[in-house]
Each structure stands twice: as structure tokens, then as C-alpha cells.
Amino acid sequence: MRRHEFQPGRLIAGLVLLAVGVLSLLDATGRADLPWYAVVPMAAGGLTLAMLVGMTTYAVRRDRRERISESSER
């Protein structure tokens, strides 16, 4: 497998959706009693956090690439 850049936004999104899936499974089996209005905001908030982390990561990496290209052009 080829190496790739670490993407923390995708990691957070995956963990949040995994947690929502586990909570839904626990609710379906009767081991937990979770109202739908508790799970939906958790998923939306987690995906929003993942989006913010992804945008921050992109901005930092873009800035680093621009600095490297400017220094190599000199």
C-alpha cells in the first residue's frame, strides 16, 4: 500500500459515525434507550468538527507548500 498524508478530519468523521452506529445498534438491541434527538445532533456536531479540522489541516498544508515553493524559486 502506498503511503499517503494523514487526514485528521477523515479520522474524526469516521470515529463519530462509528460511535453513532454503535449507539444505534445498542438502541436497536434494547441495551440502551436513546432518543433520536440525542443521536442526530451528536452526528451533526461531530461532522461539523471533522469539517473544521479538515479545513484547518488543508490551510496549514497549503501555506507550507507555498512557503516551500517560494524558497525553492529563489
C-beta separation of 19 from 53 below 8 A: no
Which band of pLDDT confidence, cut at 50, 70 and 90, is reported for residue 65?
confident
Q: pTM for this one?
A: 0.81
> What pLDDT shows up at residue 35?
87
Say if residue 73's pLDDT is above 70. no
- Other beta carbons less than 10 A from residue 19's beta carbon: 14
Could you read off the pLDDT of 5-54 as tens digits, one per residue? 899 999 999 999 999 999 999 999 999 888 888 889 999 999 999 999 99
Which band of pLDDT confidence, cut at 50, 70 and 90, is reported for residue 63?
confident
